[in-house]
Amino acid sequence: MPRNPVRYWDEEIETLDRRSLERLQTERIQATLQRASRSDLYRGLFAGRRIRPDRIRSPADLRSLPFTTKDDLRRAYPRGMLAVDQRRVVRMHASSGTTGQSTVIYHTARDIRHWTELVARSLVMSGATEADVFQNMMSYGLFTGGLGLHYGAERMGMMVIPAGGGNTSRQIQLMRDFATTIIHITPSYALHVADVIADQGLTPDDFKLRRLVFGAEPYSEATRSKLERCFRVTAYNCYGLSEMNGPGVAFECRQSEGMHVWEDNFVVEIIDPATGEPLPPGRKGEVVFTTLNREATPLIRYRTRDLAQIIEEPDCPCGRRMRRLSRILGRTDDMLIIRGVNVFPSQIEHVLMKIPEVGSNFQILLDRVESLDRMTVRVEICGKMFRGGVSELRALKGAIQHSLREEILVSSDVELLEPGTLPPSTGKAKRVIDNRAI
Ligand code: ADP
Ligand code: ZN
């Protein structure tokens, strides 16, 4: 098959050589520091330090500055992070609040323009063109997955269907009636949509779908493969967080080997979450970002709590020079400590989604019995794949328990459920129910 030529949205910047990029980053860090010190947040964080923007001579010099944490942003709620006159603000967004009080980010018109450009650039990188029909199945509102992708998709000229999250039968109807070619969706919701499509007796041939764009939650390679098989299309990973605008911070190119971080807009660092020390390329740690182009809420060395690594090879065959981030391997704040062992829900997902008899939904239940942690993994089985009797169910349960133990090193109970027993996810999945009293 002839390969499609590489297309760029902004070729000059996307292929900029590293030296020029670092020069640009340095200038922008200096400007960002100037701006940031106008907010109460940074007046507080910089108090007692002499911050001299002109002393920043390279992006590495950022290391002399303090981190900004989610708690700092929570303390600054609702306006302490604002660095411009409120009259210049045209929009605000807030994080989903997955891990507590949500954080607020303000945008000027220029901020929104830049964010829109980054999303357009990301979508073109994945091969989207103005001939595509883009159905956005992320919820619209304070959450950034809706409006963020919407503006970028429109900007690059696609027809956008602002479907929002949920209402699955209607989503499927829209996909068929308007010949949707790209959907933007959380992987957990995509698993549910795939089930409903199958229940309706439809197959990929009933759709014109060409690509999936996945974002907003961690998921494993096994889930991606499973969904690519169900929909018979390629999936692209889209990463972002509301503190860094939202989606469009990093996105996969057609090589599907990591996500290019838009380093003209963000400096990315990987640190050891325990010590705060920078880690070399290739080592897994916490992702830290500094905004480079934002006016209303500049953020410096923001600790995302997301765990990932920088992929070492500098050049990607797609021609882009911006470094790549691995998939997000988990969040430091969704790490579970079970009988002293660190376990990420994504590890459990990885094990389950590789087993063909496992359906699309699962839940992790934690209890404490006689001061011992007990984990129960509740797993929906796949109706189509599994037609066995009691002994086969018992064997499946044993096989799941065994694979889980191999991966996470703690034993668990496994409960097999009929398809459709657990509440389906229509946005960010909530997989863990922790009933352990502290
Ligand atoms: P919250 O922290 O409340 O969930 P956001 O709505 O801003 O706030 O979501 C951002 C978070 O979602 C990221 O920090 C990350 O944990 C997760 N996320 C976003 N995109 C991806 C992705 N492609 N892969 C894994 N996790 C992602
Ligand atoms: Zn690439």
221-231 and 187-199 are packed helices; what angle lies between their axes, rounded to 10 degrees? 30
The answer, yes or no, to whether the previous bond of 273 is cis (omega within 30 of 0) is no
Residue 5 has pLDDT above 80, yes or no: no
Our answer on whether the CB atom of 304 is closer than 6 Å to any ligand 1 atom is: yes
Which atom of ligand 1 lies at the shortest distance from residue 331's CA?
A: 16
For residues 214-225, give the mean pLDDT.
Answer: 94
- Residues 376/397, Cβ–Cβ less than 8 Å: no
In the chain, pLDDT over 90 holds for what percent of residues?
85
Closest CA to 297 of 29, 31, 27, 41: 41
Spatial separation of the C-alpha atoms in residues 154 and 163, rounded to whole Å: 14
Strands 330-331 and 358-369: unpaired
Q: What atom in ligand 1 is closest to the CA of residue 218?
A: 25
Q: Which atom of ligand 1 is nearest to the CA of 247?
A: 20
> Does ligand 1 lie within 6 Å of residue 217's CB atom?
yes
**Cα–Cα distances in Å, from 29 out to 24, 34, 241, 435?**
9, 9, 20, 44
Mean pLDDT is lowest, of 2-6, 284-288, 380-384, 409-413, for: 2-6
Distance CA 359, CA 194 (A): 11
Q: pTM score, two decimals? A: 0.93
315 or 181: which leads in pLDDT: 181
Query: What spacing in Å lies between the alpha carbon of 216 and ligand 2's midpoint?
Result: 21
Pocket test for ligand 1, best of 101, 184, 217 (most atoms within 8 A of CB): 217
Give the closest residue (by CA) to ligand 1 atom 14: 241
Q: How crowded is residue 112: how many other Cβ atoms within 10 Å of its Cβ?
A: 17
Assess whether pLDDT exceeds 70 at residue 2.
no
Q: Give the atom of ligand 1 at the shortest distance from the alpha carbon of 99.
A: 3
Ligand number with the minimum distance to the CA of 122: 2
Closest CA to 287 of 322, 325, 337, 333: 325
Contact present, 343 and 385 (Cβ < 8 Å): no
Ligand 1 site, residue 242, Cβ cutoff 6 A: yes
Residue ID of nearest Cα to ligand 1 atom 25: 218
Q: Do residues 300 and 36 make contact, with C-beta atoms less than 8 angstroms apart? A: yes
Confidence band (pLDDT; 50, 70, 90) for 61?
Answer: very high
The pLDDT of residue 1: 42
Closest CA to 183 of 157, 164, 206: 164
User: How many whole angstroms from 328 Cα to the centroid of ligand 1?
Assistant: 9
Given a contact cutoff of 8 angstroms between Cβ atoms, the answer to whether 382 and 419 are in contact is yes
Any atom of ligand 1 within 6 Å of the Cβ of 306: yes
Neighbours of 309 (CB within 10 A): 20
81-107 pLDDT, tens digit each: 999 999 999 999 998 777 777 899 999
SS3 content of the chain, % helix, strand, coil (to 5): 35, 25, 40
Q: Which amino acid type is present at position 101?
A: Q
Pick the closest to residue 388 from 416, 427, 429 (CA basis). Answer: 416
Calculate how far, in angstroms, residue 146's C-alpha sits from the geometric centre of ligand 1.
Answer: 13
Residues bordering ligand 2, an ion, CB closer than 5 Å: 253, 255, 316, 318, 320
Question: Predicted confidence band at 385 (pLDDT cuts at 50, 70, 90)?
Answer: low
Cβ 364 vs Cβ 413: under 8 Å: no
**DSSP secondary structure string, 263-319?**
TTTEEEEEE-TTT--B--TT--EEEEEEESS-SSS--SSEEEEEEE-EES-S--TTS
Alpha carbon distance 95, 86 (integer Å):
20
362/241 Cα distance (integer angstroms): 25
Residue 134 phi/psi, 5-degree rounding, is -110, 115
**For range 120-125, the mean pLDDT:** 98
Q: Model confidence over 249-288: pLDDT tens digits?
A: 999 999 999 999 999 999 999 999 999 999 998 999 999 9
The CA-atom distances, in angstroms, between 255 and each of 252, 263, 296 are 7, 19, 35
Angle, vertex CA 294, rays to CA 289 and CA 300, nearest 5: 35
Q: Give the closest ligand to the alpha carbon of residue 249.
A: 1
Q: How would you list the strands of the sheet with 432-434, edge to edge?
A: 413-417, 372-381, 358-369, 432-434
Share of the chain above pLDDT 70, in %: 97
Here the tokens at position 419 are 């398809």
What local confidence, expressed as pLDDT, does residue 95 receive?
Answer: 87
Span from the CA of 369 to the centroid of ligand 1 (angstroms): 32
What tens digit of pLDDT does each residue of 308-326 get?
999 987 789 999 999 999 9
237 in contact with ligand 1, CB cutoff 6 A: yes
Distance from C-alpha of 249 to C-alpha of 294, rounded to nearest angstrom: 13
β-pair partners for 268 = 289
Q: What does the pLDDT read at residue 50? A: 87
CA–CA gap between residue 363 and residue 382 (Å, rounded): 15
Cα Rg, the chain, nearest whole Å: 22
pLDDT at position 234 over 80: yes
Q: Give the atom of ligand 1 at the shortest distance from the alpha carbon of 100.
A: 3
Ligand 1 pocket test: pick from 220, 328, 332, 349 the residue with the most ligand atoms within 8 Å of its Cβ.
Answer: 328
